[in-house]
Amino acid sequence: MTQIAIAITGVSKTFSGTYHPALDGVSLDIHKNEFFTLLGPSGCGKTTLLRMIGGFESPDVGSIALDGVDMGRTPPNQRPVNTVFQSYALFPHMSVAQNIAFAPEMLGLPRDTIRTRVAEMIRLLRLEGLDERRPAQLSGGQQQRVALGRALAPAPKVLLLDEPLSALDLKLRKEMQIELKRLQLATGITFVFVTHDQEEALRMSDRIAVMREGKLMQVGRSTDIYERPANLFVAEFIGDANFLPAICVQRTGAGGRFRLACCGDHTVELTTEDASNIAIGAKATLMVRPERISLAPRESAQLFGEVSETIYSGSDLLLHARLADETLLRVHLSGALGATAPTAGSTGFAIPDEAVRAFAA
């Protein structure tokens, strides 16, 4: 049975001088020992929610419980929570070991326990040989590891991470994504991570909450969020996608058949299993991920487009093709297929039915 680490119930918050709530009736359970990500564009409320879990903001309405205990009257320093912010905020006059030892010392833990915790963090964070260095003598990635070690040393039940990788370059950021996931698995601590980077969220998270304007749009595993978005906002925000105008021509249980409206005289019908809220004759928008579209010979192609641009990115090739009504079709081909990809002219494309998701227009 899944245990709940954080129970957020009906939380709303409106800041003075604003007309729209930063959070609007948010209810959410975060499980113990999971890597949970709050994802959304700037201003969606994700950082406000993180700060409420940490006790730095209070809800106007609703409650937040940690391990079944309501935190409404519990100040930040008495919550079983620690936070890693965007700025590492390391003490410049202290060594790596002293920075990591700071929180256990403030808790009054025995010296032997503190030494053990510091040694464990240095080993876990791969900082061997750096324990006597000052922050100014470390690289950005090493400083990030020390900040994590300082937050983890008191053994909190929950670690809050507010876009902690935003200051790192791309290569180091990807390395730290792997490190963070490894740390979460090694410690068994619940991680709550805030980011606006979709790829970062998909790489690391056990589950993701996509937020917009203070509301939850969808909560689920990375594969659910990417492959089965709950609404058009999630489909547009997560990853790259094609959006094709269509009309529902037949209902089949919870699914339906749709005729594309972007193919000129060439009639195309696609089938999807998620059309329960779209009536026959109603307009719809079909979503197809670029990597699910393949090249096809003329006799079996469903769509035809004029290839206008090819973009090489090393691992794959991105094709831009214009359909009959000038709709842009984006197609991702793997590196192996890229060598045979067309560079210009009319090209046929195929879309499997299972790759199609339908949304009411």
Domain boundaries 240-354+356-360, corresponding CATH code: 2.40.50.140
Return the higher-pLDDT residue of 2 and 323.
323
Q: How many angstroms separate the CA atoms of 170 and 338, rounded?
A: 25
* pLDDT, tens digit, 9 for 90 and up, residues 69-90: 999 989 998 999 999 887 778 8
Judge whether residue 339 has pLDDT over 80.
Answer: no
What is the structure's pLDDT at 264? Answer: 63
* pLDDT, tens digit, 9 for 90 and up, residues 242-264: 999 999 999 888 889 998 877 76
What is the structure's pLDDT at 340? Answer: 64
Q: Residue with structure tokens 């209902």?
A: 251
Count CA within 13 A, CB hemisphere, residue 335. Answer: 3
Whether 102 contacts 118, CB under 8 Å: no
Q: Where in the chain is the domain with CATH 3.40.50.300?
A: 4-236
> Is-above-0.85 flag for pTM?
yes
What is the structure's pLDDT at 266? Answer: 62
Two structure tokens written together for 104: 């256990």
CB environment 151-176: b (16+ within 10 A), e (fewer): bbbbebbbbbbbbbbeebeeeebeeb
Whether 293 contacts 278, CB under 8 Å: no
Judge whether residue 292 has pLDDT over 90.
Answer: yes
Judge whether residue 338 has pLDDT over 70.
Answer: no
Q: How many angstroms separate the CA atoms of 275 and 284, rounded?
A: 9
* pLDDT, tens digit, 9 for 90 and up, residues 95-112: 999 999 998 998 889 999
What is the structure's pLDDT at 68? Answer: 93
* pLDDT, tens digit, 9 for 90 and up, residues 23-48: 999 999 999 999 999 999 999 999 99
The mean of the pLDDT values for the chain is 89
What is the structure's pLDDT at 336? Answer: 58
Two structure tokens written together for 328: 């842009």
What is the structure's pLDDT at 271? Answer: 85
Determine the longest span between alpha carbons in the chain, in angstroms: 79
Q: Where in the chain is the domain with CATH 2.40.50.140?
A: 240-354+356-360
Sign of CA dihedral 74, 77, 81, 85: positive
How far out from the chain centre does Cα 179 lie?
16
Residue closest to 286 by CA, chosen among 334, 332, 202, 229: 229
CB atoms inside a 10 Å sphere around CB 72: 12
Judge whether residue 344 has pLDDT over 70.
Answer: no
Domain boundaries 4-236, corresponding CATH code: 3.40.50.300
Whether 361 contacts 245, CB under 8 Å: yes
Mean pLDDT of 151-155: 90
CB atoms inside a 10 Å sphere around CB 2: 9
Mean pLDDT of 109-132: 91
